[in-house]
Structure 1
């Protein structure tokens, strides 16, 4: 796959067996000469207030998602997602992401 334009799904996994949320996105993907995935996308359907709060929470906790393309049951490519102010999503492959996150909650 050198280029893909279509829909995909971002999945945020808490662990290997628990997917907390899935987001359908429209996406344009390219793969460079060394096989690195780069993509730009946006949410396929505008997020309502509750979905936006969930998205923002997950993005703040850890912006790494698994990406699933049409015909796949479960994504195997980990990506880091960055969101611009206009809602455009930039996805870069995160092959060295080890699944661990250091999270601090302020309960005061």
Structure 2
């Protein structure tokens, strides 16, 4: 497979047992001659205000998601998601990400 265009699902996991949110995306993945892949996409449908607030919160907390392709029950590839001003998503493979993140909340 050197190109895939279709739908996938981004999953934001709090830990190995708890998926906090899932987002369907339209995605295009290309793979070069050495096996490095690049992916871009968009949300499959526009996020409503509540979904957008949740998305923005998760992206600010930690932009790493698992990506699941059709036929997969759970994402197996960890990606770092970057969202452009126009809503385009760029997905970068994050194989070295260890699943840890340091989060500080200002409750004042």
Structure 1 length as normaliser, TM-score?
A: 0.97
Give the drift of 1:32: 2.1
Give the drift of 1:87: 0.3
Aligned-residue Cα RMSD (Å) equals 0.7
1:73 counterpart residue number: 73
Runs of 4+ residues deviating >6 angstroms: none
Give the drift of 1:26: 0.2
Within 5 Å, give how 1:1-108 maps onto structure 2. Answer: 1-108=1-108
SS in 1 for 2:14: strand
Contiguous gaps of at least 5 residues in structure 1: none
Deviations 1:39-69 (A, max 9, x none): 0000001000000000000000000000000
Contiguous gaps of at least 5 residues in structure 2: none
Give the drift of 1:2: 1.2
Deviations 1:4-47 (A, max 9, x none): 00000000000000000000000000122232221000000100
Work out the CA distance in 2 between the residues paired with 1:64 and 1:34.
Answer: 24
Work out the CA distance in 1 between the residues paired with 2:71 and 2:81.
Answer: 22
